[in-house]
Structures are given as structure tokens and as C-alpha cells.
């Protein structure tokens, strides 16, 4: 391990300090740059392993089991050890289940449980095993509805299903966000990737409204936009997987969009630039979502395994099922809005 450079602290008279400062500036302009001290990975792994063993041998509760704090610390140290040694798995799409559970979803859980107070209904309509296509309405200016749906299935489904979402090009072209999306198990919204995931038994999530849904004005709230040409239905028909229409109430109110600054949107290369009652007027505080009450309802699945082998090639059938999914979600939204007492409770 390279030795760290030690810079002596000069004391005493003022001329001495000025001379030392001048010498330091001159050395910084022409001399070598300071090097970062690297700690060998093996040393960190060994330290983490020793710490886990010490915790296991340490204080215990009255019943003889390790304390909850010690167990949590031991799990995190073991997680760190596995990350450093490469003892974890990712699939062909870059999905990292352990990182998603422990790191990426962790900061969203307080938002889900305390801020939005999400209530899930009909979650058993998503099968415990095998492929399924979750189709939901899209809203909220920022796509928090998708990650809340992912968290609902991961934490509250009896089988703790991972939702593999299909995202727009912009998501994966954005620095940092694209890498996080890949690690979370999401992929580009294209038929080949969706077919591979469904055929391998994954739960896939799609929001057919796209930017038209999350970028609409508040006056258009809970009015579904076009669902496109039904590509998601054709994919489900090819793989014989059920379609689960899903209605999400509450996301429309987190960032009420009153206008779209199209000039700024073009300037920044965005599909829209939202103007809300708090953004951009309050700066970063305007990004804090309003604490609306959320309901996520997974409706009765639409079976596709009973249809013929060439069903995906029938455009009329694809259109009819697409319309059925859209109408199911729209009617569920109206019903849930009537049942909800108010926006915030």
C-alpha cells in the first residue's frame, strides 16, 4: 500500500508561515499531484468478516438470540463483504435483486408507508409464480407511481414479486438514472425485451400512456390518454401470460401541473417542463411531493392462454383487448375516486 504524504504543520513566526505557503503554491503548480491512498479490498473484506464474527459472539438478548441491532449490523457488513468480493448475481438485463432490496428501495419505503400511506387492493390478482403483465395508468408529473407499484409488489405480495418495468429511452439515456434503472431490473420498452422477461416467468410492468400521462395538466386528471396500438397486448398474447389492469389513485395530486413551459422543455431536451403551484417558485422545495392518499388496485386478470396460437396476429383482437384493459382501468379509477374520502385522507 503506498504511503500517504505527510505535510508538516509549521508553527512560530509569520514569515515562516508565508514562506511555507509560497513554497506550497509553487510545488503545487509544478510538482506531482497528491495520490489517493487505496485500501486493499482484501483488508476490507477481512475486517468485515471479523466484525460479523465478533457480533455473532457478542451480547445476546435474554432468550439467547443476538440483539436486533447486532443482527442488522451483521447483515449490512455481510452485504458489504459480498459486494466487494463479487458474491452476487445479476441477470442479462443487469438486474441486481440484493442491491435493489437493500439500497434502492430502502429510501422509498418511508415515502410509501408514511407520506403517501399507500393502500393496496387485489394484490392476489398478480400470480404468485409465472409471467404476468401489469398495465397501469400513468400520472403525477414525476413517475413515482411506477416505483410505488414496484414497492407494493415487492413488499406486500405474498410471493414478493419483482416488477420489471419497461421504460422510455429518456430514462436510460439520463446519467445515473439509467444505471439505477438497470440495477432495479427495468429495461427499454420494446417487444423483444418484454417477451423475454414474460417468457422467463417475470412480472412486467407497462404504462401505455407514457409521457402523455405523466405530463398532462391537472385539469385532465384521471382521464386516460391514448394507449397506442396495443403492442403490450400482442406481447402478452404471444407469451400466453395474463394481463392485470391496475388503477392508481393519488399520484395525480403530488405535483399538480398547471402549465407546461414548452420553450424550456425544448431547451433542456425534455418532453415537458412542468409548472406547479410550488415549482419552480420554491426552488428545490418545490420538488417535495404533496402527501396525497394513494390507492393501488390490481384488477381481475385477463387470461390470454385460452386464445389461439395466432391471436397476436389478429389486429382486431389486439384492439379489443387493449380497449378492454383501458376501460377496466378507467372505470376502476372512477370507482376509487368516489370511495376516497378526500385527496389527503
| Residue 216: how many other CB atoms lie within 10 Å | 21
Domain that includes residue 69, residue range: 41-87
Q: Indicate the pLDDT class of residue 77, thresholds 50, 70 and 90.
A: confident
Could you tell me if residue 174 is inside a domain?
A: yes
Could you tell me if residue 23 is inside a domain?
A: no
8 A C-beta contact, residue 177 and residue 286: no
The answer to whether residues 154 and 175 belong to one domain is yes
The answer to whether residues 67 and 200 belong to one domain is no
With 90 as the cut, is the pLDDT of residue 59 above it? no
8 A C-beta contact, residue 166 and residue 238: no
The answer to whether residues 128 and 206 belong to one domain is yes
8 A C-beta contact, residue 259 and residue 275: yes
The answer to whether residues 239 and 201 belong to one domain is yes
Rg value, the chain, Cα: 26
The answer to whether residues 65 and 197 belong to one domain is no
With 80 as the cut, is the pLDDT of residue 17 above it? no
DSSP state of 233: H
Which of these three, 26, 57, 87, is where a domain ends?
87
CA distances from 29 to 34, 264, 295 (A): 12, 42, 61
The answer to whether residues 171 and 304 belong to one domain is yes
Distance of CA 207 to the CA centre of its chain: 14
Count CA atoms within 13 Å of residue 104 on its CB side.
Answer: 22
The answer to whether residues 131 and 176 belong to one domain is yes
With 50 as the cut, is the pLDDT of residue 35 above it? no
pLDDT tens figures, 123-153: 999 999 999 999 999 999 999 999 999 999 9
Cα(243)–Cα(152) distance, rounded to whole angstroms? 17
Cα angle value 119/124/128 (rounded, 5°): 130
The answer to whether residues 237 and 112 belong to one domain is yes
The answer to whether residues 49 and 122 belong to one domain is no
The answer to whether residues 131 and 238 belong to one domain is yes
Q: What is the mean pLDDT of residues 104-115?
A: 96
Which of these three, 87, 122, 149, is where a domain ends?
87
CA distances from 49 to 54, 66, 230 (A): 9, 17, 52
The answer to whether residues 82 and 102 belong to one domain is no
The answer to whether residues 57 and 126 belong to one domain is no
* Overall number of domains in the chain: 2
Amino acid at each position: 500500500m503506498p504511503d500517504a504524504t505527510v505535510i508538516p504543520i509549521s508553527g512560530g513566526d509569520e514569515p515562516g508561515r508565508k514562506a511555507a505557503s509560497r513554497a506550497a503554491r509553487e510545488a503545487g503548480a509544478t510538482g506531482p499531484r497528491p495520490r489517493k491512498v487505496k485500501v486493499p479490498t482484501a483488508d476490507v473484506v477481512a475486517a468485515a468478516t471479523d466484525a460479523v464474527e465478533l457480533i455473532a459472539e457478542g451480547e445476546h438478548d435474554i432468550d439467547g438470540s443476538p440483539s436486533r441491532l447486532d443482527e442488522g449490523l451483521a447483515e449490512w457488513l455481510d452485504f458489504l463483504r459480498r459486494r466487494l468480493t463479487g458474491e452476487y448475481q445479476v441477470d442479462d438485463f443487469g438486474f441486481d435483486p440484493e442491491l435493489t432490496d437493500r439500497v434502492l428501495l430502502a429510501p422509498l419505503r418511508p415515502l410509501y408507508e408514511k407520506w403517501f400511506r399507500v393502500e393496496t387492493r387485489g394484490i392476489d390478482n398478480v400470480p404468485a409464480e409465472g409471467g404476468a403483465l401489469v398495465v397501469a395508468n400513468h400520472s403525477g408529473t414525476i413517475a413515482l407511481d411506477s416505483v410505488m407499484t414496484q414497492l407494493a409488489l415487492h413488499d406486500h405480495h405474498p410471493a414478493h414479486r419483482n416488477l420489471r418495468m419497461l421504460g422510455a429511452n429518456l430514462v436510460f439515456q439520463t446519467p445515473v438514472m439509467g444505471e439505477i434503472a438497470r440495477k432495479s431490473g427495468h429495461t427499454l420498452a420494446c417487444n423483444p425485451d418484454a417477451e423475454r422477461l414474460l417468457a422467463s416467468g417475470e412480472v412486467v410492468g407497462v404504462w401505455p400512456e407514457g409521457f402523455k400521462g405523466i405530463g398532462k395538466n391537472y385539469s385532465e386528471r384521471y382521464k386516460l390518454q391514448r394507449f397506442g396500438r396495443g403492442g403490450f397486448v400482442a406481447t402478452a398474447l404471444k407469451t400466453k401470460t395474463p394481463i392485470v389492469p391496475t388503477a392508481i389513485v393519488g399520484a395525480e395530486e403530488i405535483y399538480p401541473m398547471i402549465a407546461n413551459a414548452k420553450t424550456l422543455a425544448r431547451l433542456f431536451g425534455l418532453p415537458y417542463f412542468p409548472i406547479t403551484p410550488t415549482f419552480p417558485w420554491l426552488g428545490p422545495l418545490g420538488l417535495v411531493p404533496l402527501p396525497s392518499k394513494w390507492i393501488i388496485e390490481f384488477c381481475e386478470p385477463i387470461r390470454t392462454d385460452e386464445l389461439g396460437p395466432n391471436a397476436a396476429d389478429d389486429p382486431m383482437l389486439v384492439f379489443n383487448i387493449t380497449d378492454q384493459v383501458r376501460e377496466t382501468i378507467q372505470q376502476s379509477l372512477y370507482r376509487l375516486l368516489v370511495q376516497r374520502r378526500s385527496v389527503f385522507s
